[in-house]
Structure 1
Amino acid sequence: MHTTRSQRWRDRRSRWVPAASEIDPRRLAVDVIETRKVAAPFVRAHHYAASMPVTRLSVGLFAGGAGGRSELVGVCVFSHPVNDASVAKNAGLRDPRAACDLGRLVVLDSQGGNAESFLVARAFRLLRREKPEILSVISYADPVRRTDAQGHVFLPGHVGGLYAVMAARYLGRSSRRTDLILPDGRPISSRALSKIRNAECGQRYATDDLLAVEAPPRLVGEEPRAWLSRLERSGFLRRQRHPGCHAYVFPLTRAARYAAARIPAQPYPVLDRTAVAGDVTALPLLTRSA
């Protein structure tokens, strides 16, 4: 076992429930949900990133609520890959449309320890039904512990214990990178930064996200690149080196399993229980790179 507890979420704060606690499947249901009106508000309210990726399918976990009404208690979001190259690198597939990322997974702390695997396994079935062109799912585990401006830990860092339990293939680390970190401890996605710098479609939403956390606004006539540079020089944004996320792949079909088998799998990473900051991966995998 990688841990005796399961990570849960509420109000963008990480919480833990005993992994030995079990759900009652008779009280739960899993179904496709509308992304913009249902999945996105839930993810923004409870997931530490408070944002949604470009989504291909959203799936919800429902539990019996008050008055016999169903209550949304979890969301699984399948999103476009981080980049097209990751599909060949991690899934062994040539067509970038043949794989997606497990972009968001959030389950409320009211649910038992095995609720995540219950949701993900059924979400995979729905993904195959709704998007048959998708043959594999790629997932990343961020091992860096993150704190907000007050020093409160809102993301303890994880190594993908759930994915290991579900027999995903572990492929090593994604590329090392440098993150730009907001005052509340959240990193800004490289895609959002690219949209702002290059004035791409969606730049307004990325800019609004910065303004929502009280970033100094652009000056009259100031170029987007110059604005981001100013935010960094002023200390509003700070740079942080990242060792790379742990990368996993779930082949969903026989053909996908054959394709994935061409990529060497590695031993599952182990959580360092003594880590209080930075990367929580136990050595020697701390320095290993995919």
Structure 2
Amino acid sequence: MLDTGAAAQPGDQIVDGQVLVGVVVLASPMNERVLTGPFPGLVPYAESVELARLVLTDSVPANGESFCVSRALRLAAERGVRGVVSFADPLPRRRVTADGVVIGSPGHLGVVYQALGARFSGRATPRSLCLLPDGSVLSARSKSKITGREVGMGGVIRRLEVFGARPLGPDDEPGRWLAEILPAIGARSARHPGNLRYLLTAARTRAERSRVVYGMPSLPYPKWAEDRHRIDVAK
């Protein structure tokens, strides 16, 4: 999303001479079942994809999120995409940056997808998160880069060394090293109940939309409970 009327400020990203204010990323999840479960009749990674990121600057006015996603879906439909899966993380997060700044996220219910009329299909699989001392998450994919000695493992190791992890030695077995250093640096496990799953259709015509078959039921939209720390959502 570009702001055609904004004057560029220091730090702004410029695209074709205009200020970039929003990005939607449609991506391929690591496991195709993320796509084939909700859209069993579509070809994963070609006709069905995941909406992996939605980022807009604070300068974008109200309804900008739904406008941006709607436009992205129309563009995707022109390239053969028919179904899009997106997840909303309702779990509050708190992270402390290296210079001591606390960054908090209250969690969200995916209200932008509700505004677009997306189908809510319940929660994704519950899982355990590995939280580092600053509150950030060490993902399972990051761990696998180390245990499998994959490209990118150096960056993950350097991230752990910031918290006091000893270097991975040439005689260390990566899995055992990881199991040793995580508790040593103060990493902890937290149970996540599962992200909220929304299903969107990308179609150029009503006929194309009607041919999309869902593999999951439509459930009532989740809402915040009165204390804001819980959500009312179908299991």
Q: State the shift of 1:261 in Å.
A: 3.3
Per-residue CA deviations over 1:205-231 (Å, capped at 9, x if unaligned) read 4444545x5452423222321232123
**Alignment partner, residue 118 of structure 2:** 168
Q: Percent identity?
A: 32
Q: 2: distance between equivalents of 1:176 and 1:238?
A: 17
Q: 2: distance between equivalents of 1:192 and 1:257?
A: 39
**Alignment partner, residue 73 of structure 2:** 124
The answer as to whether partners of 2:165 and 2:185 remain within 8 angstroms in 1 is no
Q: How does 1:138-149 map to 2 (within 5 A)?
A: 138-149=85-96
Q: State the shift of 1:185 in Å.
A: 1.6
Q: State the shift of 1:90 in Å.
A: 1.8
Unmatched segments (≥5 aa) in structure 2 = 10-16
Per-residue CA deviations over 1:17-64 (Å, capped at 9, x if unaligned) read xxxxxxxxxxxxx3xxxxxxxxxxxxxxxxxxxxxxxxxxxxxx4443
Is structure 2 residue 6 aligned with structure 1 residue 65? yes
The number of residues matched between the two structures is 220
Q: How does 1:1-290 map to 2 (within 5 A)?
A: 30=1, 61-66=2-7, 69-93=17-41, 95-97=43-45, 98-129=47-78, 132-149=79-96, 152=102, 154-211=104-161, 213-214=162-163, 216-220=165-169, 221-253=171-203, 254=207, 257-276=210-229, 280-282=230-232, 285=234, 288=235
Unmatched segments (≥5 aa) in structure 1 = 1-29, 31-60
Per-residue CA deviations over 1:153-207 (Å, capped at 9, x if unaligned) read 5211111111011011111000010011122222222222222222234434444
Higher Cα Rg, which structure: 2
- Higher RCO (CA-CA < 8 Å; seq separation 6+): 2
State the 4+ residue runs in structure 1 displaced beyond 6 angstroms. Answer: none
Task: Give the TM-score, by structure 1 length.
Answer: 0.67
* CA spacing shift, 1:251–1:67, aligned 2, 3 Å: closer
* CA spacing shift, 1:255–1:146, aligned 2, 3 Å: same
Q: State the shift of 1:100 in Å.
A: 1.4
Q: 1: distance between equivalents of 2:56 and 2:8?
A: 22
Q: 2: distance between equivalents of 1:170 and 1:257?
A: 17
Q: Secondary structure of the equivalent of 1:90? A: coil
Q: 2: distance between equivalents of 1:78 and 1:204?
A: 27
Q: Which structure shows the bigger proportion of residues in helix conformation? A: 1
Q: 1: distance between equivalents of 2:158 and 2:50?
A: 25
Q: Secondary structure of the equivalent of 1:148? A: strand
RMSD value, Cα = 2.6
Q: 2: distance between equivalents of 1:160 and 1:105?
A: 11
Q: Which amino acid aligns with 2:82?
A: L
Q: State the shift of 1:101 in Å.
A: 1.1
The answer as to whether partners of 1:169 and 1:265 remain within 8 angstroms in 2 is yes
Per-residue CA deviations over 1:86-130 (Å, capped at 9, x if unaligned) read 11112224532232111111111122121111111111122233x
Deviates more, 1:85-94 or 1:213-222: 213-222
